[in-house]
Amino acid sequence: MKILDIKSENPFVKTFTLDISVGAVPGQFVMIWIPRLNEKPFSVAFDDGKELQIAIAAVGEFSNAMHDLKVGDKVGVRGPYGKPFEYEDGEHLAVIGGGYGAAPLYFLAYEAVARGCKVEFVVGARNSGNLLFLDRAEMLANTNVHVATDDGSEGYKGYNVPLLEKLMEEGLKVDRMLTVGPEMMMIAVSDLALKHDIP
């Protein structure tokens, strides 16, 4: 598939737009293939039925090779695979992403708003330079964006799960929590959901 556009999201992450839709829904992933480098799985950052977007951080041989590609270059795509996020139309959702997890969560928030949901978009990163897709999330209707950075360079100083807990202590009520990110963060989200009896 041909690369139509490459956007630098921050110093480490680029979003690649490909000239194909795989009919993906939020929570799914695709396998991306580069000749001579095999293939790797990547979460779908967006799929509008015409084009596919994937956000890739340069952290290894394969992802660095992706970052070296140019508009017009081609890659292979297989998928989508994986279980999509589950929620009901019209729910009040908290979507929680850590680090690069914000990429698939934007797709989730976009689709959820289209299904009549209200969204609390809670993201965390080491610093403001590592945050992803805030500009897109802030443009969504019925969406409140909450930011936490480890160093306090943007938003709440600390981690995103304590920020969400603070918001809930201040009266925020949600119907469901959905999360993507580091395992320890997802465990903390699960613990918080259990504490408040939220699916």
- Write down the domain spans for the chain: 3-81, 92-195
Is there a contact between 159 and 148 (Cβ–Cβ < 8 Å)? yes
Of 181, 155, 16, nearest to 100 (Cα)?
A: 181
CATH class of the domain whose range is 3-81? mainly beta
Sign, Cα dihedral of 149, 155, 161, 166: positive
* Fold agreement (3-81, 92-195): no
The fold of 92-195 is Rossmann fold (3.40.50)
Q: Which two tokens stand for residue 75?
A: 């890659």
On the CB side of 28, CA atoms within 13 Å amount to 17
47-77 pLDDT per residue, tens: 999 999 999 999 999 999 999 999 999 999 9
Return the pLDDT at 36.
87
User: Once rounded to an integer, what is the mean pLDDT over residues 175-197?
Assistant: 95
Report residue 125 as tokens: 């990163």
The pLDDT score that the predictor gives to residue 128 is 93
Confidence of residue 100 (pLDDT cuts 50, 70, 90): confident
Rounded Cα gap, residues 179 and 190, in angstroms: 9
pTM of the model: 0.93
